[in-house]
Structure 1
Amino acid sequence: MRDLELLATFLEVRRAGSVTAAASRLGLSQPSVSERLARLEEQFGETLLVRSSRGVTPTPAGDRLAARIGDPVDRLRAAWTAEPATDASGTVRIGGASDVVASRVIPALAPLAAQGIRLEFALGRAQPLLESLKERRLDVVIASIRPADAAIRYRGLVDEEFVLVGAPSLARAIDARRLGSDPAGALVHLPLVVYDEELSIVRRYWRSQFGHRPANPVAIVVPDLRGILAAVVAGAGISAIPRYLADPAVASGSVEILHRPEESPINTLHIAIPVHEPPSAATAAVITRLLETARAWDSF
């Protein structure tokens, strides 16, 4: 099944006539919209939109796709964004990574507590939380992965831009000339602070930017992005973290951005819910609140 968010982004760009206008309507960055279009065209193996200085023009393949998916995609998006019942109450069990829940989800959903909705959070890694969702022990999961599963449906929530950061003392240990020609080689002597043993976030950064896994030694493993930032500030190593976490530390001078690619890696956070069980009014209120609040998140 094609990714609903990719198809919806394609339709919005086609209707708006430009990536810039579509990005504004969707509450996304222009690079994020461009990246989604590229992924969709890669899946279909055809050019769907031709870009120019005057905007975008659909190809015949793009016109055929839009005619086929327009109404179904619009109906599916409407189902996700339907207004929740005004008398929503009850308990909603929400799963997510501890850093995302603390910095994003709880501030967004706290006002719902005053409306009679009880919020219960389960913290952990995405895969076990998605298993709990399938077993009906959770109602909603905020996940950075979306493994194919007929029992779960996903909705893109927000795109996070990742940056590579290190303490000033480590930044000074990098050969600036080599960084321009061989960035992975210039960084290889620096230890890593990673989210898990699989180096999931850092590995994705290295592969997207340098074409291979990192060969650096690992200094600290901590499954919390705030903990990763704290370790980087303390000079324990370098790591890739979302820009919204990095920017305050960069502004204070406690860390520096070590690598500035033309396009930074982007990771999408998804809302996941069970397929075969309609969300309760309280769960619908949670989903709507998250979607509305995410538009203002400074992830880019």
Structure 2
Amino acid sequence: MEPAGLLGDLAIFTRVVMARSVSAAALQLGAAKSSVSSRIAALERLVGARLLIRSRHGVQPTPAGERLAAAGRNLIADAEALLTEIRAGEDQITGTLRVTCAVGVADILLVPMLASFLRQHPALSVDVVATDLILDPRREGIDVSFRFGWLRRPEQGFVARRIGTYEGALVASPAYLATAGGEPTTPAALAQHTWIGSPAFGGMRQPLTLWDASGRRHKTVMTCRIRTTAPTQQREWVLSGLGITRLPRFFIADDLAKGALVRVLSDHRFEGPSLFAVYAREHAHSARVRALLTHIQRIGAEEKMARAAESLEATR
């Protein structure tokens, strides 16, 4: 339970607004529902205005409640950052950082980053929610959401920071190509094949833009037989010989090396997926979030330098 006092009541109120439920907020806080309700009522008496509208679908903030919740989040973030610096010094990050990421692909990239971050900050804890669902960060109390794919724009009130972009590949199993009459040789021929898609590209009919070796752009539309949110499932479906799909190359490098998968239209390229860190604007003030983003940026810069060195060495 949050401590008593105005800041504690604000923290409880913002938790209720994020959860859209008094019961859910009480569960997250480890407090009785009646206690949370009484703290909210006390805050409404202090403010002199109604802050929440209750219905059978949960609770919604009033306009006054929305303003107070936004101000409360900023005050709490500033207070947490200040307390962290006072208690542990600027070089010591404490508390719990709650993050979410997709199962499978993002794990390969994210876990090493978090591991090195935790080694640098031994007083910090990380709570990871691994899911292929897109969670509401405020409702679930998420500090940073790591999203892998093709994010066009973040939700209102959120910031999306691109961590890195990765080469993608169109792939199929040799067994599928044998039964489908061979590898397609043009983007137009590709559209006649069975497609394993992702909701990141729309519904069951998904646009695909390719550039050939001369730089010419080709647009085609693929019709999904299978559509899944999980890249791990895309890999399993394509290994099972059920169609063609696009996946980050690092994710299927072993399958390509073993010949379990082969590249399709390998002389064409398309926009590869990226890993993004998405966080609410008010969390930009959090010392934990700032430290994590700085750490990831440093790793990204080191990786770019390493790739540049490898490219330079290859040309000698």
Q: TM-score range by the shorter chain?
A: 0.5 to 0.7
Q: 141, 145, 163: which one pairs with 1:141?
A: 145
CA contact (8 A) 1:146 1:270 kept: no
Equivalent AA in structure 2 for residue 121 of structure 1: V
SS at match of 2:104: helix
Count of equivalent residues: 208
Q: CA deviation at 1:162?
A: 1.4
CA contact (8 A) 1:242 1:299 kept: no
Q: CA deviation at 1:189?
A: 4.5
Counterpart of 1:212?
A: 220
CA contact (8 A) 1:146 1:154 kept: no
SS at match of 1:211: strand
Equivalent AA in structure 1 for residue 97 of structure 2: V
Counterpart of 1:227?
A: 233
Counterpart of 1:96?
A: 101
Equivalent-residue separation in structure 2 for 1:228 and 1:111 (angstroms): 29
Counterpart of 2:130?
A: 123
Q: CA deviation at 1:248?
A: 1.9
Equivalent-residue separation in structure 1 for 2:95 and 2:275 (angstroms): 25
CA contact (8 A) 1:166 1:255 kept: yes
Larger radius of gyration: 2
Equivalent-residue separation in structure 2 for 1:99 and 1:155 (angstroms): 20
Equivalent-residue separation in structure 1 for 2:239 and 2:252 (angstroms): 10
CA contact (8 A) 1:89 1:282 kept: yes
Q: TM-score, normalised by structure 1?
A: 0.58
Q: CA deviation at 1:246?
A: 2.4
CA contact (8 A) 2:167 2:249 kept: yes
Equivalent-residue separation in structure 2 for 1:146 and 1:198 (angstroms): 10
Q: CA deviation at 1:110?
A: 1.7
CA contact (8 A) 1:109 1:289 kept: no
Alpha-carbon distance change, 264 to 221 in structure 1, aligned in 2, over 3 angstroms: closer
Alpha-carbon distance change, 200 to 160 in structure 1, aligned in 2, over 3 angstroms: farther
Equivalent-residue separation in structure 2 for 1:93 and 1:119 (angstroms): 6
For 1:204-283, list aligned pairs within 5 A. 204=207, 206-208=208-210, 210-215=218-223, 217-218=224-225, 220-283=226-289
Counterpart of 2:206?
A: 203
Alpha-carbon distance change, 160 to 132 in structure 1, aligned in 2, over 3 angstroms: same
**For 1:160-188, what per-residue CA distance to the aligned partner results, in whole angstroms no more than 9, with x for missing partners?**
22111000122335666x933x4332x34
Q: TM-score, normalised by structure 2?
A: 0.56
Q: CA deviation at 1:123?
A: 3.3
SS at match of 2:221: coil
Q: CA RMSD in A?
A: 3.4
- Structure number with the bigger relative contact order (C-alpha 8 A, sep ≥ 6) is 1
SS at match of 1:285: helix
Equivalent-residue separation in structure 2 for 1:197 and 1:280 (angstroms): 30
Alpha-carbon distance change, 85 to 259 in structure 1, aligned in 2, over 3 angstroms: farther
1:153 aligns with 2:159: yes
Counterpart of 1:47?
A: none
Equivalent-residue separation in structure 2 for 1:158 and 1:201 (angstroms): 28
Equivalent-residue separation in structure 2 for 1:168 and 1:252 (angstroms): 12
**For 1:85-120, what per-residue CA distance to the aligned partner results, in whole angstroms no more than 9, with x for missing partners?**
421111111122222332111122123334122111
Alpha-carbon distance change, 195 to 299 in structure 1, aligned in 2, over 3 angstroms: farther
Alpha-carbon distance change, 233 to 124 in structure 1, aligned in 2, over 3 angstroms: same
Q: 190, 208, 232: which one pairs with 2:193?
A: 190
Q: CA deviation at 1:202?
A: 9.0
**For 1:233-254, what per-residue CA distance to the aligned partner results, in whole angstroms no more than 9, with x for missing partners?**
2212221000111222111111
SS at match of 1:228: helix
Q: Which 5+ residue runs of structure 2 have no aligned equivalent?
A: 1-88, 212-217, 309-316
CA contact (8 A) 1:94 1:122 kept: yes
Percent of pairs identical after alignment? 16
Counterpart of 1:26?
A: none
SS at match of 1:271: strand
Q: Which 5+ residue runs of structure 1 have no aligned equivalent?
A: 1-83
Equivalent-residue separation in structure 2 for 1:162 and 1:202 (angstroms): 20
